[in-house]
Chain A
Amino acid sequence: MSFLRLRNVSIHFPIYQGGSRSLKKAIMASTSRGNLARDAAERIVVRALDGVDLDIESGDRLALIGPNGSSKSTLLKTLAGIYEPTSGDLYSEGRISALLDSSVGMNPDATGRENIYLRGMFMGIHPSDMTKYIEEISAFTELGHYLDMPVRTYSAGMRISLSFGISTCTSPDILLMDEWLAAGDAHFLEKAQARLESLFRTSSLMVLASHSLPLLERWCNRAILMYQGHIMAQGTVRDVWSEYKQTFAAPETPDKQTASSQ
């Protein structure tokens, strides 16, 4: 029984520009009045999430749909417990695995084998437990002798294949995924899909952010539409997708125009 529950969760990013990152200016501002204080305190706050309520329960396969910059990744990171909400509450139960970035815990100067242990540790897997996955990861990635070469000698496809192989070697209760499978050839994508499908079967809930309708339709049973830090719509993948298309697809929409003119 796993769940993720958000209650009125907001994530506000302060953007520190120039002066407000400076300790000297902050001290000057606290000791003098007037212009300096205004300069140092001048900061923009981005409301990445604004009062989001969301319940994701066991069995849910949630699709996150939304245009670029609609806080899909921020929502995933919040669910993963990386960003502590500025206000509101997050309740979670179950072991979470977040496949957000393909490069985390990967050291380009270390060998592929060392990176398997390294990234495994970041996933909470003790190196002695990781040993039993080596064989299987090696088979999946088809890296062969490259496994003992530094990762910086790998091609982009090989890197993705390796980090994907490591990230998916155990099945968590809660699987959070950002779409980073775009790279890689058809052969890899085929293998990756087979591997993910077995992962989805065993994890009790999943959240997937993607721009690919076939992918979402195949794997998700629920969808939300994100825009400007709000949930604009909820429902089936197909309904939410058509809502998304209607709202954002036409290039003449005012939102798009303001976005491109910035």
Chain B
Amino acid sequence: MSVKQISLENHRALASVDGLKSQTSHFTRARADIAEGVRLYWLWSRLAYHDIKMRYRGSLIGPFWLTLSTAIMAAMMGVLYSKLFNTDVRTYLPYVTIGLIVWQFISTTVNESCLTFVAVSAEVQQVRLPFSSHVFRLVYRNLLVLCHNVVILFVVLVIFPPTLILEQLTLIPAMAVLIANAAWLACLLGMLGARYRDLPPIISNFLQVLFFVTPIFWRPESLGRYLVMARYNPLHAAIDIIRSPLLGVAPDVASWPIMLAMTLVGCVVTFAVFARLRGRIAYWV
């Protein structure tokens, strides 16, 4: 069970094609798929840009609609909950805003992940593209949307400037970790979502609950002796490694270890599943 693509350059070296049979395994083909996907960055980056352009064609402010809705949500919650929780709006508003922006990136990425391959079924069935390119396209598209939301972040940080600390340098690896997790989720959920069509509603229900369970508009400290509930929530860890440095405080001690473990385990498991199921995706979508 193998599809062997032989490049023109290698042709002369191949006296007997059938001799190659034993060399292709699931894993080598999955690796080749990912390598080819990376090489096609010019394709999926443009397609991602095109996706956003198409989604907002005919609208005046385009993807800044999302920025606007996030801004309104953050402003309302920031003011309302600072009264409800009786906290200082100057520290609470930036806390909520950053939490919401990161949450929005995570939740839209995960929601769309169920349809990584289903949404592009026509392309999967008509053109031979590496499956990884669809994953990269989805992640890149959501990163572009995130960039539109960063405008709000700048506004908030200018109004309420945080103290400068060394931890702010960890924002770069934190984004890298976030992207890596988005990629394996988009791939794994994309395969499951192609096979099991009731995955999108299951996932979106879960996310709705998780929004309230995760410390986004409330602080983990307010849990008191139940702090562990927030601390070992991977979604909190994901938000925390971005939010805390931006607010000028160190992230929770558990956040980085959780995120690194999740990245490692997620990537390894997804690669194994991807290698096993890659050939079936075209049949499922």
Contacts and interface: CB of A to CB of B under 8 A. Distances in A.
Q: Kindly state the interface size class of chain B when it binds its partner.
A: 35 or more
A85 B2 CA distance: 7
Interface in A95-111: 96, 98, 100-101, 103-105, 107, 109-110
A100 B21 CA distance: 28
B18 A88 contact: no
B129 A122 contact: yes
Contact of A122 (B18, B123, B125): B123
B21 A89 contact: yes
B57 A89 contact: no
Contacts of A123: 127
A96 B129 CA distance: 12
Nearest to B43: A121
Contacts of B197: 21-22
Interface stretch (B4-12, B89-97, B176-184, B228-236): B4-12
Given A22-B196, A89-B21, A109-B54, A103 B122 contact: yes
Nearest to B197: A21
B18 A104 contact: no
Given A23-B198, A101-B126, A114-B50, 15 more contacts: A16-B284, A22-B196, A23-B199, A23-B202, A77-B125, A81-B5, A82-B126, A89-B3, A89-B21, A91-B4, A91-B17, A93-B7, A93-B8, A101-B122, A118-B47
Contacts, number: 103
Interface in B40-61: 42-43, 46-47, 50, 54, 57
Given A22-B198, A122-B129, A90 B47 contact: no
A252 to B, nearest CB: 36
Interface residues of A, number: 44
Given A90-B3, A90-B4, A109-B57, A21 B198 contact: yes
Interface in B1-45: 1-8, 11, 17-18, 20-21, 42-43
Contact of B8 (A24, A94, A121): A94
Interface string B261-279: 0000000000000000011
The 10 closest A-B pairs by CB, nearest first: A84-B279, A23-B196, A104-B126, A81-B128, A93-B6, A21-B197, A101-B126, A91-B17, A122-B127, A90-B3
A66 B201 CA distance: 42
Contact of A118 (B1, B4, B50): B50
B85 interface: no
Contacts of A22: 196-198
B99 to A, nearest CB: 30
A47 interface: no
A177 B139 CA distance: 33
A14 interface: yes
Nearest to B44: A121
Given A7-B18, A107-B54, A126-B42, A89 B127 contact: no
